[in-house]
A = this chain, B = another copy of it.
């Protein structure tokens, strides 16, 4: 079932069918109706590959997500898809495991799909110019700004929060409540990603408060997962309970930490306070409700698409957008009693 069949069926030329398909102006009403009817009757579906082949551009935007199991991304992805669809683009989602190379995955996507642009979600911050060249299309880093790479600022876009500042802010919430035994819960202090930056903010906040850094309170989990966070905190508590505040770099980790504290017989926030960064829906329903710096998830996704569309249309060059978190007050932050 091709456009030819439809044309033959209607006794018109293929170009006429093509015209009604792409609703070009000058087709007589009669012809148009006739063709439309035939299309419906024959259940004709245009071959998009043929279409793509002949039209200069594709209509897809790729999204590469590292750690899609993190519920933080769900609303972001939804926003991206909604925005793409609105603009007539199709979102092509690709999830990659924690260890995989997202730029390679992106290049592969570009290669196999006909992408116009790319959005990286939850990635590293250390792309090299060489890697980026392999991509060959505009891309925006969402949630990260590539601080550790050697990319020109003009070579890509980003939308993110200021991880250092937010890490500082979160830690400071604890400091201000009188906490001094403040732990940080993260995957790694050298992940070249959000954890590393937020860790730097944490260190700064401690330093500003005159609190020496105690590496035994740096809870690295290696894996960015709830079980890993749970195990890590449980392991610490089994040997020592000398901690009154925990800053978790993600809500999911905070929730796992609270469970570990609870299992160890510690109360939140009476014994230990917990703050996090993210603001996922789920943490509104934990007991107690999590106190967290909430990221504007939908806005992040929408902004990423907007930037991409602007760059694609030539409306504006690459740009870097910094979004603010808002403190979502819960019940896990209390005054230090020690």
With known contacts A49-B53, A90-B112, A226–B68 Cβ distance under 8 A: no
Tell me if A86 is interfacial: C-beta within 8 Å of chain B. Answer: no
The answer to whether B48 and A114 have CB atoms under 8 Å apart is: yes
**In chain B, what residue has the closest Cβ to A58?**
B49
A136 interface neighbour in B43, B58, B94, B113, Cβ under 8 Å: B43
Contacts of A48 in B (CB 8 A): 49, 111-114
Q: Flag if B69 contacts A78 (CB, 8 Å).
A: yes
Tell me the minimal C-beta distance from A20 to chain B in angstroms: 16
Looking at A183-191, A201-209, A282-290, A302-310, the stretch in contact with chain B turns out to be A282-290
A28 within 8 A of B: no
B78 engages A95 (CB within 8 Å): yes
**A44 CB to nearest chain B CB (Å):** 10
| Measured CA separation A47–B51 after assembly (Å) | 13
Partner of A111, one of B45, B74, B258: B45
Question: For residue A49, which residues in chain B have a CB less than 8 angstroms away from its CB?
Answer: 48-50, 52-53, 58, 114
With a cutoff of 8 Å between Cβ atoms, the chain B residues found around residue A114 in the complex are: 47-49
A91 CB contacts on chain B under 8 angstroms:
93
Are the CB atoms of A281 and B95 closer together than 8 Å? no
Judging by beta carbons under 8 Å apart, are A259 and B287 in contact? yes
Cα(A286)–Cα(B252), bound, Å: 11
- The count of chain A contact residues (Cβ–Cβ below 8 Å) is 47
- Report the copy number of this chain in the oligomer: 2
A265-302, CB under 8 A of B: which get 1 and which 0?
00000000000000001101111010000000000000
* A81 cross-chain contacts in B, Cβ below 8 A: 94-95
From the candidates B78, B92, B94, B111, name the one contacting A68 in the complex (CB within 8 A).
Answer: B78
Instruction: Collect the chain B residues with CB atoms within 8 Å of residue A77's CB.
Output: 68, 95
Interface of A is mostly: helix
Complex-state Cα separation, A282 to B70, whole angstroms: 10
Chain B residues near A258: list those with CB within 8 A: 285, 287
Q: Which of B68, B78, B226, B262 contacts A74 (CB 8 A)?
A: B68
Question: Is the beta-carbon distance between A285 and B53 smaller than 8 angstroms?
Answer: no
Chain B proximity of A107: nearest CB distance (Å): 9
CB interface residues, A 65-116, toward B, < 8 Å: 68-69, 71, 74-75, 77-78, 81, 90-95, 110-114
Chain B residue nearest to A70 in the complex (CB): B74
Contacting B at CB under 8 A, from A230-252, are: 230, 252
Q: Which residues of B contact A230 (CB under 8 A)?
A: 285
Q: In the complex, which residues of chain B have a beta carbon less than 8 angstroms from the beta carbon of A47? A: 53, 114
A161 within 8 A of B: no
A42 beta carbon closer than 8 Å to chain B: no
Partner of A285, one of B74, B93, B111, B255: B255
Is A46 located at the chain interface by the 8 A CB criterion?
Answer: yes
Task: Give A287 to B282 CA distance when docked, in angstroms.
Answer: 13
- Which chain B positions have C-beta within 8 A of A52? 49
A121 at interface, CB cutoff 8 A: no
- Across-interface contacts of A287 in B (CB, < 8 A): 258-259, 262, 286-287
Closest 3 CB pairs of A and B: A49-B52, A49-B49, A259-B285
Known: A47-B114, A91-B93. 14 other contacts (CB 8 A): A45-B110, A48-B112, A49-B50, A49-B53, A53-B53, A68-B74, A69-B78, A71-B74, A77-B95, A78-B95, A81-B94, A258-B287, A259-B285, A282-B282
